[in-house]
Amino acid sequence: MSFREALESGKFVVTAEVGPPKGTDIEEMIHHIELLKGKVDAVNFTDNQSAVMRMNSLAGCKIALEHGVEPILQMTCRDRNRIGLQSDLLGAYALGVRNVLCMTGDHVSAGDHKGAKPVYDLESVQLLRVVDALNNGKDMEGNDLKGSTDFFQGAVVTPEANPLEPQLIKFEKKVKAGARFFQTQAIYDIEKFKEFMKHARKFPVKILAGLVVLKSAGMAKFLNNFVPGIVVPEELIEELKAAGKEKALDTGLSICARHIKQLKEEAICDGVHIMAIGMEDKVPEILERAGLL
Protein backbone atom coordinates (compact mmCIF):
# COMPACT_ATOMS: atom_id res chain seq x y z
CA MET A 1 0.00 0.00 0.00
CA SER A 2 1.37 3.40 -0.95
CA PHE A 3 1.72 6.26 1.52
CA ARG A 4 -1.25 7.98 -0.07
CA GLU A 5 -3.40 4.83 -0.01
CA ALA A 6 -2.41 4.19 3.60
CA LEU A 7 -3.47 7.70 4.65
CA GLU A 8 -6.67 7.55 2.63
CA SER A 9 -7.55 4.12 4.07
CA GLY A 10 -7.44 5.57 7.57
CA LYS A 11 -4.33 3.64 8.66
CA PHE A 12 -2.19 5.39 11.28
CA VAL A 13 0.86 6.14 9.14
CA VAL A 14 4.48 6.59 10.09
CA THR A 15 7.01 8.62 8.15
CA ALA A 16 10.65 9.22 8.95
CA GLU A 17 13.26 11.55 7.60
CA VAL A 18 16.67 11.12 6.01
CA GLY A 19 19.06 13.93 5.17
CA PRO A 20 21.16 13.27 2.04
CA PRO A 21 24.92 13.40 2.68
CA LYS A 22 27.23 16.33 2.30
CA GLY A 23 29.31 14.65 -0.36
CA THR A 24 28.88 11.75 -2.71
CA ASP A 25 29.31 8.90 -0.22
CA ILE A 26 25.80 7.45 -0.01
CA GLU A 27 26.68 4.38 2.08
CA GLU A 28 25.22 5.71 5.34
CA MET A 29 22.10 7.03 3.61
CA ILE A 30 21.49 3.61 2.05
CA HIS A 31 22.02 2.03 5.47
CA HIS A 32 19.30 4.27 6.92
CA ILE A 33 16.98 3.58 3.99
CA GLU A 34 17.42 -0.18 4.46
CA LEU A 35 16.86 0.17 8.19
CA LEU A 36 13.53 1.96 7.66
CA LYS A 37 12.37 -0.34 4.86
CA GLY A 38 9.12 -2.10 5.73
CA LYS A 39 8.88 -0.24 9.06
CA VAL A 40 7.58 3.13 7.90
CA ASP A 41 5.09 4.15 5.21
CA ALA A 42 7.38 6.70 3.58
CA VAL A 43 10.62 8.56 4.13
CA ASN A 44 11.14 12.30 3.67
CA PHE A 45 14.32 13.40 1.94
CA THR A 46 15.29 16.85 3.14
CA ASP A 47 16.12 19.70 0.78
CA ASN A 48 19.38 21.29 1.92
CA GLN A 49 17.98 21.35 5.44
CA SER A 50 18.87 24.42 7.54
CA ALA A 51 20.25 25.90 4.30
CA VAL A 52 23.33 23.67 4.61
CA MET A 53 24.42 22.58 1.13
CA ARG A 54 24.15 18.82 0.59
CA MET A 55 23.21 16.29 -2.06
CA ASN A 56 19.77 17.16 -3.41
CA SER A 57 16.56 15.64 -2.17
CA LEU A 58 15.68 14.17 -5.57
CA ALA A 59 18.79 11.97 -5.65
CA GLY A 60 17.88 10.68 -2.18
CA CYS A 61 14.34 9.93 -3.37
CA LYS A 62 15.57 8.05 -6.42
CA ILE A 63 17.97 5.97 -4.34
CA ALA A 64 15.13 5.20 -1.90
CA LEU A 65 12.95 4.00 -4.78
CA GLU A 66 15.76 1.73 -5.96
CA HIS A 67 15.83 0.22 -2.46
CA GLY A 68 12.07 -0.30 -2.27
CA VAL A 69 11.26 2.60 0.04
CA GLU A 70 8.62 5.18 -0.85
CA PRO A 71 10.05 8.70 -0.71
CA ILE A 72 8.55 12.09 0.03
CA LEU A 73 10.38 14.80 -1.90
CA GLN A 74 10.91 17.87 0.27
CA MET A 75 10.96 20.98 -1.86
CA THR A 76 11.87 24.41 -0.60
CA CYS A 77 11.57 27.69 -2.47
CA ARG A 78 14.93 28.98 -1.26
CA ASP A 79 17.24 27.81 -4.03
CA ARG A 80 15.23 27.68 -7.26
CA ASN A 81 12.99 30.07 -9.14
CA ARG A 82 9.61 29.08 -10.59
CA ILE A 83 11.22 27.59 -13.69
CA GLY A 84 13.65 25.45 -11.69
CA LEU A 85 10.95 24.26 -9.25
CA GLN A 86 8.53 23.19 -11.97
CA SER A 87 11.26 21.57 -14.01
CA ASP A 88 12.49 19.58 -10.99
CA LEU A 89 8.93 18.53 -10.16
CA LEU A 90 8.45 17.14 -13.69
CA GLY A 91 11.79 15.34 -13.45
CA ALA A 92 10.93 13.93 -10.03
CA TYR A 93 7.64 12.57 -11.30
CA ALA A 94 9.33 10.97 -14.31
CA LEU A 95 11.77 9.27 -11.92
CA GLY A 96 8.91 7.76 -9.90
CA VAL A 97 8.47 10.22 -7.03
CA ARG A 98 4.80 10.52 -6.09
CA ASN A 99 4.81 12.55 -2.86
CA VAL A 100 6.02 16.10 -2.50
CA LEU A 101 6.24 18.30 0.58
CA CYS A 102 6.11 22.00 -0.27
CA MET A 103 7.89 24.35 2.08
CA THR A 104 9.35 27.85 2.08
CA GLY A 105 12.75 26.76 3.39
CA ASP A 106 15.09 28.06 6.09
CA HIS A 107 16.78 31.33 5.20
CA VAL A 108 20.34 31.11 3.82
CA SER A 109 21.56 32.99 6.89
CA ALA A 110 21.01 29.78 8.91
CA GLY A 111 23.31 27.71 6.72
CA ASP A 112 26.87 27.29 5.52
CA HIS A 113 26.67 29.53 2.43
CA LYS A 114 25.62 32.76 4.09
CA GLY A 115 26.48 34.90 1.06
CA ALA A 116 24.11 32.95 -1.21
CA LYS A 117 21.32 34.86 -2.92
CA PRO A 118 18.04 33.62 -1.44
CA VAL A 119 15.51 33.00 -4.21
CA TYR A 120 11.95 32.72 -2.79
CA ASP A 121 10.52 33.50 -6.22
CA LEU A 122 7.56 31.44 -5.00
CA GLU A 123 6.61 30.49 -1.46
CA SER A 124 4.90 27.47 0.05
CA VAL A 125 1.29 28.47 -0.74
CA GLN A 126 2.15 29.30 -4.32
CA LEU A 127 4.25 26.14 -4.73
CA LEU A 128 1.25 24.06 -3.64
CA ARG A 129 -0.81 25.77 -6.34
CA VAL A 130 1.91 25.00 -8.86
CA VAL A 131 1.82 21.30 -7.94
CA ASP A 132 -1.96 21.39 -8.32
CA ALA A 133 -1.56 22.93 -11.78
CA LEU A 134 1.01 20.30 -12.84
CA ASN A 135 -1.39 17.60 -11.59
CA ASN A 136 -3.97 19.12 -13.92
CA GLY A 137 -1.73 19.09 -16.96
CA LYS A 138 -0.73 22.76 -16.93
CA ASP A 139 2.32 24.72 -15.88
CA MET A 140 1.79 27.74 -13.65
CA GLU A 141 1.40 30.00 -16.67
CA GLY A 142 -1.38 27.79 -18.00
CA ASN A 143 0.68 26.20 -20.77
CA ASP A 144 -0.21 22.60 -21.62
CA LEU A 145 2.06 19.80 -20.43
CA LYS A 146 2.79 16.72 -22.45
CA GLY A 147 1.93 14.30 -19.66
CA SER A 148 0.80 15.62 -16.29
CA THR A 149 1.96 14.72 -12.79
CA ASP A 150 -0.16 12.99 -10.17
CA PHE A 151 1.55 14.10 -7.02
CA PHE A 152 0.20 13.64 -3.51
CA GLN A 153 1.18 17.03 -2.14
CA GLY A 154 1.71 18.03 1.43
CA ALA A 155 2.85 20.98 3.49
CA VAL A 156 4.07 21.86 6.97
CA VAL A 157 2.43 23.68 9.87
CA THR A 158 3.66 24.86 13.26
CA PRO A 159 1.00 24.11 15.88
CA GLU A 160 2.99 25.88 18.62
CA ALA A 161 3.63 29.10 16.69
CA ASN A 162 3.33 32.27 18.74
CA PRO A 163 1.23 34.18 17.79
CA LEU A 164 -0.79 31.23 16.49
CA GLU A 165 -3.59 32.82 14.47
CA PRO A 166 -1.56 34.01 11.45
CA GLN A 167 -0.02 30.52 11.26
CA LEU A 168 -3.48 28.92 11.36
CA ILE A 169 -4.66 31.26 8.60
CA LYS A 170 -1.65 30.26 6.51
CA PHE A 171 -2.52 26.62 7.20
CA GLU A 172 -5.98 27.30 5.75
CA LYS A 173 -4.42 28.96 2.71
CA LYS A 174 -2.27 25.86 2.18
CA VAL A 175 -5.36 23.65 2.39
CA LYS A 176 -7.12 25.82 -0.19
CA ALA A 177 -3.99 25.74 -2.38
CA GLY A 178 -4.27 21.96 -2.56
CA ALA A 179 -2.32 20.48 0.37
CA ARG A 180 -3.60 16.97 1.08
CA PHE A 181 -1.45 16.14 4.08
CA PHE A 182 0.55 18.04 6.68
CA GLN A 183 3.63 17.12 8.65
CA THR A 184 3.87 19.37 11.68
CA GLN A 185 6.82 21.03 13.36
CA ALA A 186 7.88 18.97 16.39
CA ILE A 187 5.25 18.83 19.13
CA TYR A 188 5.73 17.73 22.75
CA ASP A 189 2.57 18.87 24.51
CA ILE A 190 -0.16 16.44 23.45
CA GLU A 191 -2.94 18.36 25.20
CA LYS A 192 -2.04 21.53 23.33
CA PHE A 193 -1.73 19.53 20.11
CA LYS A 194 -5.29 18.29 20.64
CA GLU A 195 -6.40 21.93 20.59
CA PHE A 196 -4.66 22.42 17.24
CA MET A 197 -6.24 19.21 15.92
CA LYS A 198 -9.71 20.47 16.85
CA HIS A 199 -9.09 23.29 14.38
CA ALA A 200 -7.35 21.13 11.78
CA ARG A 201 -10.17 18.57 11.79
CA LYS A 202 -12.45 21.16 10.19
CA PHE A 203 -10.50 20.66 6.96
CA PRO A 204 -10.30 17.64 4.65
CA VAL A 205 -6.58 17.02 5.18
CA LYS A 206 -4.47 14.37 6.92
CA ILE A 207 -2.23 15.46 9.77
CA LEU A 208 1.00 13.75 10.79
CA ALA A 209 2.36 14.94 14.13
CA GLY A 210 6.04 15.85 13.95
CA LEU A 211 8.22 14.22 16.60
CA VAL A 212 11.85 14.96 17.35
CA VAL A 213 13.61 12.58 19.75
CA LEU A 214 14.99 14.32 22.84
CA LYS A 215 18.53 13.15 23.59
CA SER A 216 19.02 15.13 26.79
CA ALA A 217 17.65 17.90 28.97
CA GLY A 218 20.24 20.17 27.35
CA MET A 219 18.84 19.46 23.89
CA ALA A 220 15.32 20.17 25.13
CA LYS A 221 16.43 23.55 26.47
CA PHE A 222 18.25 24.28 23.22
CA LEU A 223 15.06 23.57 21.25
CA ASN A 224 13.09 25.87 23.56
CA ASN A 225 15.59 28.68 23.27
CA PHE A 226 16.72 28.51 19.67
CA VAL A 227 14.25 26.66 17.45
CA PRO A 228 11.19 28.69 16.47
CA GLY A 229 7.86 26.97 17.06
CA ILE A 230 9.13 24.20 19.35
CA VAL A 231 8.07 24.14 23.00
CA VAL A 232 9.26 21.30 25.25
CA PRO A 233 7.19 21.34 28.45
CA GLU A 234 9.07 21.67 31.76
CA GLU A 235 7.89 18.26 33.01
CA LEU A 236 9.60 16.49 30.09
CA ILE A 237 12.83 18.35 30.81
CA GLU A 238 12.51 17.23 34.46
CA GLU A 239 11.91 13.65 33.33
CA LEU A 240 15.11 13.74 31.24
CA LYS A 241 17.07 15.31 34.09
CA ALA A 242 15.82 12.70 36.56
CA ALA A 243 16.94 9.92 34.22
CA GLY A 244 20.56 11.05 34.53
CA LYS A 245 23.08 11.46 31.74
CA GLU A 246 23.42 7.78 30.89
CA LYS A 247 19.70 7.08 30.68
CA ALA A 248 18.68 10.38 29.08
CA LEU A 249 18.58 9.08 25.52
CA ASP A 250 16.68 5.97 26.58
CA THR A 251 14.16 8.22 28.32
CA GLY A 252 13.94 10.40 25.21
CA LEU A 253 13.12 7.34 23.11
CA SER A 254 10.47 6.31 25.64
CA ILE A 255 8.90 9.78 25.61
CA CYS A 256 8.72 9.66 21.81
CA ALA A 257 7.22 6.13 21.87
CA ARG A 258 4.73 7.14 24.57
CA HIS A 259 3.57 10.11 22.49
CA ILE A 260 3.14 7.95 19.37
CA LYS A 261 1.12 5.45 21.37
CA GLN A 262 -1.15 8.13 22.78
CA LEU A 263 -1.60 9.85 19.41
CA LYS A 264 -2.61 6.54 17.85
CA GLU A 265 -4.74 5.11 20.68
CA GLU A 266 -6.71 8.30 21.14
CA ALA A 267 -6.90 8.77 17.35
CA ILE A 268 -5.72 12.35 17.81
CA CYS A 269 -4.19 12.61 14.33
CA ASP A 270 -3.58 10.50 11.22
CA GLY A 271 0.00 9.50 11.81
CA VAL A 272 3.42 10.63 12.95
CA HIS A 273 6.50 12.01 11.26
CA ILE A 274 9.66 11.09 13.16
CA MET A 275 12.61 13.42 12.69
CA ALA A 276 15.46 11.49 14.24
CA ILE A 277 18.17 14.00 13.22
CA GLY A 278 21.26 11.79 13.25
CA MET A 279 19.56 8.93 15.12
CA GLU A 280 17.80 7.29 12.20
CA ASP A 281 18.96 3.90 13.50
CA LYS A 282 16.84 4.39 16.64
CA VAL A 283 13.58 4.75 14.70
CA PRO A 284 12.78 0.99 14.63
CA GLU A 285 13.32 0.83 18.40
CA ILE A 286 10.94 3.77 18.96
CA LEU A 287 8.32 2.08 16.80
CA GLU A 288 8.76 -1.19 18.73
CA ARG A 289 8.32 0.57 22.05
CA ALA A 290 5.24 2.33 20.66
CA GLY A 291 3.81 -1.07 19.74
CA LEU A 292 3.80 -0.34 16.03
CA LEU A 293 6.21 -3.13 14.98
Partner 1 sequence: MIITKKKDFQELMENIKNYQKFFLVGCSECASLCGTGSEEAIKELAEALRSEGKEVTGGFVPKTGCQVLGTKKELKAFKDALAETDCILVMSCGAGTQTAVELFPDKPVYPTNDSLFLGNMTRFQMFDERCSLCGQCILDRTGGICPVTTCPKGLLNGPCGGMQDGHCEVSPDIPCAWVRIYERMKRLDKLEEFRESVLEAKDWSQAQKPRSLSTREKKEKK
Which spans of this chain sit near partner 1 (rule: CB under 8 A)? Answer: 78, 82, 103-104, 106-107, 109-110, 118, 120-126, 140, 156-158, 161-163, 165-167, 169-170, 172-173, 176-177, 185, 228-229
3-class DSSP assignment, residue 114: coil
Dist CA 79 CA 71 (whole Å): 21
Q: How far apart are CB 142 and partner 1 at their closest, in Å?
A: 12
Shortest reach from residue 120's CB to partner 1, in Å: 5
H-assigned helices in 148-292: 165-176, 190-200, 217-226, 234-265, 283-289
Q: In terms of CB distance, is 98 or 174 closer to partner 1?
A: 174
Torsion (CA) 151, 33, 245, 191 in degrees, nearest 10: 30
**Shortest spacing between CB 157 and partner 1, in angstroms:** 8
Smaller CB distance to partner 1: residue 42 or 161? 161
- Whether residue 163 is preceded by a cis peptide bond, meaning omega within 30 degrees of 0, is yes
Amino acid at site 172 = E
When the beta carbons of 53 and 110 are compared against partner 1, the nearer one is: 110
Cα(102)–Cα(124) distance, integer angstroms: 6
**Beta carbon nearer to partner 1, 75 or 287:** 75
CB of 177 to partner 1, least distance (A): 7
Radius of gyration of the chain (CA): 18
Cα 189 off chain centre by: 18
Alpha carbon of residue 73 to chain centroid: 9
Give least dist CB 113 to partner 1, A. Answer: 15
CB atoms within 10 A of CB 178: 22
Looking at the Cβ atoms of 147 and 163, the one nearer to partner 1 is: 163
